[in-house]
Structure formats: structure tokens, C-alpha cells
Amino acid sequence: MNPVKTGLLGLGTVGGGTVNVLTRNAQEIARRAGRGIVVTHASARDLEKPRICDIGNIRLTTDPMEVVNDPDIAIVVELIGGDTLAFDLVMQAIANGKHVVTANKALIAKNGNEIFAAAQRQGVMVAFEAAVAGGIPIIKAIREGLAGNRIEWLAGIINGTGNFILTEMRDKGRDFADVLKEAQQLGYAEADPTFDVEGIDAAHKLTILAAIAFGIPLQFDKVYTEGISAITGGDVSYAEQLGYRIKHLGIARQTERGVELRVHPTLIPERRLIANVDGVMNAVLVQADAVGPTLYYGAGAGADPTASAVVADLVDVVRALTSDPENRVPHLAFQPDALADLPILPMEQVETACYLRMRAADRPGVLAEVTRILGDQGISIEAMLQKEPPTEEEGATIIMLTQKVVEKNMNRAIEQIQSLDPILSNVTRIRMESLG
């Protein structure tokens, strides 16, 4: 059989890695797919730029639409990022009857419902394993490997930049701004790190994971998102003293009232495996009713790890080229007409335990007043630390761990505590999850 001709949109780190993996493992890939897979056409913004791959016989162009409209191309691989031009290119590829592979989490999270509907009408596949957690095959694991289970919840470290920062803060006692600067120098963080450190990147990925876990439409605009820029070295140290580690988690949970979708810094018991995932590595913990907890760990970014996922999708598409579209694995795991319109819970209705940190004047009765306010909101204290102040003006640092509480009650309590005269700072709140 002739090889399947593939076109690449974008020939940067992941595009170059994809060419390298396809070339290096060509024989193994052909044995698995039943046919060879070759890149014959690719687009890049700068044709003279040095590449990490051997261009060989690949025809290059600066016009990505030229690749999309190439009649010889059967599969288009979109690696340019963003959700504007990429959306137009993917929709045109689908209209042309071409299958699509993408590593673009923003595109899928924000436009996936429309893209999958178009692909369904055209009888083509859109594969997106590389859009979440780089080389970890988490999409396939949830969509296929756990197909016999009811997914109860999942929690993931799905942004390597944030995990690197929190790991350095913990291991070396460095502050957030210092580690962020190093992350930028190492290429882990962009010049504008907002997407990484404020949780937007993780929210894109969580949107996708929740859709395939619970059989719901993609709903990025309903994800609660909170970043890690306010986490201090003191918070990291206090958490350690209490037996916890701080991780920037994406959490999706199906409850009787609806689905929780949230990204925020989270205290996790240090004994949990996921609490010990360090540096730029990613991990996703999935709790399912039949199999119980399963943990998926690996490189969340990089040329070869992400290319591994892209090529796996290419193999899946090639295997399915001659199959009946009605018998293919559904894009979002559940049959398109069986997606459930479950409500997404607003954050104020979510119930979590909390870590609270505040500075208070070191005088009698302050702690009693704080605990009274918490008690009035039905909030029980699990543990507490009090650090004596270096100077009387700075006040004592009080750290409390609470039992589970509905978010709106905690918001009300924090507002009342901050209004007390002896409280010398805003109250820092970090949510806690046992993940048991």
C-alpha cells in the first residue's frame, strides 16, 4: 500500500519533533498502522529558519492554506496554536474531507463542539491526544481504556511551568518571582507567562478532560481559574510542616448537583503519589468506580514527548481510514447524541477544606474572635499553627486548616475576619483536597 501523505501546519518544536519521530520509527509505525506515514507538505512562517529535523523531500510553503487545500494530503496536522487562524484552517481541512490531528488545547477547549460537529457531518476524524499532558496518553486512557467505568473525579498537574515553579519554591526556598524568571530563561515559560501561571493553559486542558470523562460538551467559559502568583515561600513551608504540598491542580468532579470544573493552587497530603510529581512533569489521577484510582505520569511538553502523541494520533487515523465513520471511537468518548447537559457548578457552591493564613496583632482574644466567626459559618478547624512575630508591628502569623466547607460560607467568613481591627493582612485561602 502507498504511504499516507500528511501535511504539517507549523514546523517548530513539535512539528520538527513529529518529522523526526516519523522518520526515526518509520518501520515500526508502518507495522502498527498497516501503511507508512510520510510528511510531504508543510507550512512555516520563516522558510530559512534552522530546523530540528531534516526537511528532506518535504515541500515547504509560508501559506498554510496551501497545505490544507493540497489534494494529495489525507491528514492535516495542526501545530500552529491559537484559536483564530488555526480554527479557519481546521474547518477548511474538514470541509475538504481531510482528517485532522491537532496539539492545540485552546482550539479544542473553545471551538471543539463546532469542530467535532463539522467532522461528524463530513465523516472525518479529529484527533487531539497531544492537546493534553504532552506525551501522556491520557485522552486514550479515559476515552478507551476506562470505557467500562463511571469516572467519579480526576485531578491533574497539567501545566509543567507552574509545577516547576512550585517545586523550586519548595526545594530551594526561592520566591515566586525569582523562579518565574529562571523558568523564562530555561524556555519553560513564555515572555508573557499569564497562560501558565494564572491557570488558563490548565483550564483549556481540564475542559477537554472533563468532557471525555463525563460525556458533557466542552465548556471552557465555565471553568473556575485561579493562578499561583500569590503563593509565597511561607505558604509552601507551612504546608510542608503540616504534612502537605502545594500543587497547581485542575480538578473535575461529577456530583449529584452537577460538575465541578476548577483550576487553583491546592494542598495535597504529601503521601499521595501525585504530590511527589516534581519539576516540569505532568500527572493525572483518575478515580473510576470499577478500577479505582489510576495515575498517569510523564513529560507534559517537549519536542519528542508531544510528537509521540501526535504520531499516535496519526497511527489511529490511518488505521481507521477505511472503517465506517459510525464505528469509530467518538471524539468525546460518548456518542454525539448521548452527551449529557449536566450543570456546571459555580465555584461558590463547591465544597472544599481550606488552608488559611493571616497576620494578626499579638494580643489576647484575637484568635477567639476569628474562631467565633468561623464557627458562625459552620466551619470547623482541623489544625493550626501560630508563628510569633519578628516585631510587634508585623503581627503574629496564624495558619489554620479547616474541614470541608461550602465556598460561599468561607467567602463570608473571610470577609468578616478581614474586617477585624486586629487582623493586619488579607486572609490567604488555599483549597485542600485529600484525593483519597
Question: So which residues are the catalytic ones?
Answer: 205
Tell me the HSE value of 195 on the side-chain side, using a 13 A CA sphere.
14
Q: What nine digits make up the cell of 299?
A: 513529560
Cα(229)–Cα(212) distance, integer angstroms: 30
Distance set, CA 210 to CA 99, 161, 216 (Å): 24, 22, 7
How far is C-alpha 149 from the geometric centre of its chain's CA atoms? 22
Q: What nine digits make up the cell of 372?
A: 467565633
Q: What nine digits make up the cell of 100?
A: 485532522
User: Which single residue is written with the C-alpha cell 504540598?
Assistant: 245
User: Which single residue is written with the C-alpha cell 466542552?
Assistant: 218
CA angle (232, 284, 109) in 5-degree steps: 90
Please name the helix (run of DSSP H) or strand (run of DSSP E) that holds residue 196, with its range, or none. Answer: helix 194-197
- What does DSSP say about strands 151-157 and 244-254: parallel, antiparallel, or unpaired? antiparallel
Q: List Cβ neighbours of 128 (8 Å cut-off, separation of 6 or more).
A: 101, 102, 103, 104, 105, 108, 112, 139, 208, 313
**Which strands sit side by side in the sheet containing 75-78, from one edge to the other?**
59-61, 37-43, 4-9, 75-78, 99-102, 126-127
φ and ψ at 240, to 5 degrees? -60, -45
Distance set, CA 270 to CA 174, 246, 278, 294, 392 (Å): 20, 9, 12, 17, 33
> How is residue 350 annotated by DSSP?
-
Cα(41)–Cα(62) distance, integer angstroms: 11
Burial (CB count <10 Å: 0-12, 13-18, 19+), residue 285: buried
Cα(365)–Cα(367) distance, integer angstroms: 6
